[in-house]
A and B are shown apart, each in its own frame.
Chain A
């Protein structure tokens, strides 16, 4: 187990090196000019300003030198300064990450609860109308353009019905949460501020549902197919022939074994959230990593792009590592070599 962990951590370092090399390759290959993207037209006409700008960000040095400077800074915990915001990238990431973390945790909770539930129902009622409907929903989940779905949900529930606030994380006129973990729901609970809890939840629920819908589809499909496979096993027939109630056969025997692969899919789904995040955060004005990534990418703010990509890559590896460990805990047959 220990050797396995070491190997995984080494792989993580390789992965991060890969990401940083990719950013540098792209920033070198692209025929665009970050100076032009970030300075106004009048400033661009002044060669002194342009030169000062290039010197400040090291844009006048050759690429491999930029890369070495960047890597050595990064190892010391300095991710550079965002060209767009003018602030240290690490500070930007620290500000936006909790918002995204909170949104993705809630999206995952929704996806897992609904996905596993739908999957079980779908398997029990195999090929009956209920199964067909649930399967249609799960295929819709993976086929919906998330930006359009977000827009639709928002225009119905925030625009027409006015059931939910139309964007942001919290009502800034009433609350200005500082300190704490940055996860507003958690902070509100720990401070005992129930109004803040209600307010942040009402902002959270719609974007989390939209975001979780895709992953829910994946989990439903996986749960259904695993459960059906488990239900055809001999031990299920034995349990049934003992006269056990069907509900106990499903929940007590089949489900235990069917859920293990679902954990893996959930991990993949979590990482898939990050793609939908860009759209959902943009439409629901959620101040998180997705919006930050979008703004950084479109302004070709390479220090920020690299920072945000590394953050996502780290999250990806950490989540998958946790899942592998969880896998071993749940299923003792698995031994890591």
Chain B
């Protein structure tokens, strides 16, 4: 809690802006059913399709006469949830994998790291496309595909931190005092790795949302008629004249990604004061 207060006290405009953007989107996602003026899927008005933005339809209407504003708001529920789940899974798998690999060391470490390198050596987007295409395009499969790409990053980061921390005197002291491996990992090593991991996770949240919407854009993620930002952008591909159909969902993706990047940068500055105002 103290850390959070110190973070907010900093004169970091970008960080605060990022926080505001992300909190606003999270609120929008939670309150979407209350906020939307029209139902995002069932409200179709064929007579009123392709309407430009107006007071009735703030973001206009799409090819089926659905309200783009309502769909963008609802889309936040899918995109943000998918991004968060992807990062959480990768985080959990990575911290476990990297923690064991770094703590045990030796042959086990070698084998585990070669395995993670094997996954990383594969071009990420192709891997995601293949997995999503093979399992069938839907939300959970594309989250699964992204988690497979992402976890090695966390595993390698955790491993490097664990290796540098486990040689410290206080860890040795703890071991001599008879602490179990699990206790050492949990009480001594984990608290020291969480900071850098948090920065990586926040920065990754933006990337995860970008990639998730990219997969949906390619038709490998969320399927119609569900309201998802990437899929909505692809709705506008063939209808240049109706710019609002793809512009607003695109702006939504952009704003979340940039918000997450601002927060990640702010956290990094905070944890590494040498970099303050530089990166």
- A residues within 8 A CB of B246? 148, 151-152
Q: In the complex, what distance in Å separates the CA atom of A283 from the CA atom of B234? A: 10
Q: In the complex, what distance in Å separates the CA atom of A297 from the CA atom of B133? A: 7
As a 0/1 sequence over residues 30 to 55 of chain A, the CB contacts with chain B under 8 angstroms (1 = contact) are 11100000000000000000000000
What 4 A-B pairs are tightest by C-beta distance, nearest first? A148-B250, A30-B134, A297-B129, A18-B118
As a 0/1 sequence over residues 304 to 321 of chain A, the CB contacts with chain B under 8 angstroms (1 = contact) are 010011001100100000
Output the residue of A31, A147, A224 with the most chain B CB within 10 A.
A147
CB distance from A124 to the nearest CB of B (A): 14
- A residues within 8 A CB of B9? none
User: Would you call B213 and A145 a contact (CB within 8 A)?
Assistant: yes
As a 0/1 sequence over residues 72 to 105 of chain A, the CB contacts with chain B under 8 angstroms (1 = contact) are 0000000000000000000000000000000000
- B residues within 8 A CB of A229? 278
Q: In the complex, what distance in Å separates the CA atom of A293 from the CA atom of B243? A: 29
- B residues within 8 A CB of A151? 233, 236-237, 246, 250
A-B contact pairs, 19 of them (CB 8 A): A18-B117, A18-B122, A23-B122, A26-B134, A140-B254, A143-B254, A148-B250, A151-B250, A152-B246, A152-B250, A155-B243, A221-B279, A274-B125, A275-B124, A293-B126, A294-B218, A300-B133, A305-B126, A316-B123
User: Would you call B117 and A297 a contact (CB within 8 A)?
Assistant: no
User: Would you call A309 and B123 a contact (CB within 8 A)?
Assistant: yes
Q: Which residue of B lies closest to A229 (CB)?
A: B278
Beyond A18-B121, A127-B277, A298-B220, is A145–B250 a contact (Cβ under 8 Å)? yes
User: Would you call B118 and A32 a contact (CB within 8 A)?
Assistant: no
Q: Is B210 an interface residue (CB 8 A)?
A: yes
Q: Is A228 an interface residue (CB 8 A)?
A: yes
CB distance from B202 to the nearest CB of A (A): 13
Q: In the complex, what distance in Å separates the CA atom of A180 from the CA atom of B220? A: 37
User: Would you call A152 and B217 a contact (CB within 8 A)?
Assistant: no
Q: In the complex, what distance in Å separates the CA atom of A275 from the CA atom of B215? A: 12
Q: Which residue of A lies closest to B122 (CB)?
A: A22
- A residues within 8 A CB of B69? none
Beyond A145-B214, A145-B230, A152-B250, is A300–B134 a contact (Cβ under 8 Å)? yes
Beyond A19-B121, A139-B261, A221-B279, is A312–B243 a contact (Cβ under 8 Å)? no
User: Would you call B125 and A22 a contact (CB within 8 A)?
Assistant: no
Q: Number of A interface residues, CB 8 Å?
A: 50
- A residues within 8 A CB of B82? none
User: Would you call B122 and A19 a contact (CB within 8 A)?
Assistant: yes
Q: Is A142 an interface residue (CB 8 A)?
A: yes
Q: Is A58 an interface residue (CB 8 A)?
A: no
Beyond A19-B122, A151-B250, is A279–B130 a contact (Cβ under 8 Å)? no
Q: Is B94 an interface residue (CB 8 A)?
A: no
User: Would you call B230 and A147 a contact (CB within 8 A)?
Assistant: yes
- B residues within 8 A CB of A107? none
User: Would you call A225 and B135 a contact (CB within 8 A)?
Assistant: no
Q: In the complex, what distance in Å separates the CA atom of A229 from the CA atom of B274? A: 10
Q: In the complex, what distance in Å separates the CA atom of A126 from the CA atom of B279? A: 11
User: Would you call A26 and B240 a contact (CB within 8 A)?
Assistant: no
Q: Is B253 an interface residue (CB 8 A)?
A: yes
User: Would you call A140 and B258 a contact (CB within 8 A)?
Assistant: yes
Q: Which residue of A lies closest to B251 (CB)?
A: A148
Output the residue of A221, A275, A313 with the most chain B CB within 10 A.
A275
Chain B residues in contact with chain A, CB under 8 A?
A: 14, 114, 117-119, 121-127, 129-131, 133-136, 206, 210, 213-214, 217-220, 230, 233-234, 236-237, 240-241, 243, 246-247, 249-250, 253-254, 257-258, 260-262, 265, 275, 277-279
- B residues within 8 A CB of A316? 123
Chain A residues in contact with chain B, CB under 8 A?
A: 15, 18-19, 21-23, 26, 30-32, 126-127, 139-140, 142-149, 151-152, 155, 159-160, 221, 224-225, 228-229, 274-275, 278-279, 282-283, 293-294, 297-300, 305, 308-309, 312-313, 316
Q: Which residue of A lies closest to B123 (CB)?
A: A312
Beyond A15-B121, A22-B119, is A139–B277 a contact (Cβ under 8 Å)? no
Beyond A147-B214, A147-B217, A300-B134, is A294–B118 a contact (Cβ under 8 Å)? no
- B residues within 8 A CB of A313? 121-123
User: Would you call B130 and A145 a contact (CB within 8 A)?
Assistant: no
- A residues within 8 A CB of B123? 274-275, 293, 308-309, 312-313, 316
Beyond A127-B277, A139-B258, A145-B257, is A297–B121 a contact (Cβ under 8 Å)? no
CB distance from B55 to the nearest CB of A (A): 25
Q: In the complex, what distance in Å separates the CA atom of A170 from the CA atom of B261? A: 37
Q: In the complex, what distance in Å separates the CA atom of A221 from the CA atom of B136? A: 39
Q: Which residue of B lies closest to A290 (CB)?
A: B125
CB distance from A250 to the nearest CB of B (A): 16
User: Would you call A143 and B257 a contact (CB within 8 A)?
Assistant: yes
User: Would you call A22 and B275 a contact (CB within 8 A)?
Assistant: no
CB distance from B222 to the nearest CB of A (A): 14
- A residues within 8 A CB of B278? 224-225, 228-229
CB distance from B96 to the nearest CB of A (A): 21
Q: Which residue of B lies closest to A217 (CB)?
A: B261
- B residues within 8 A CB of A308? 123, 126
Q: Which residue of B lies closest to A131 (CB)?
A: B277
- B residues within 8 A CB of A143? 206, 210, 254, 257-258, 260-261
- B residues within 8 A CB of A21? 118
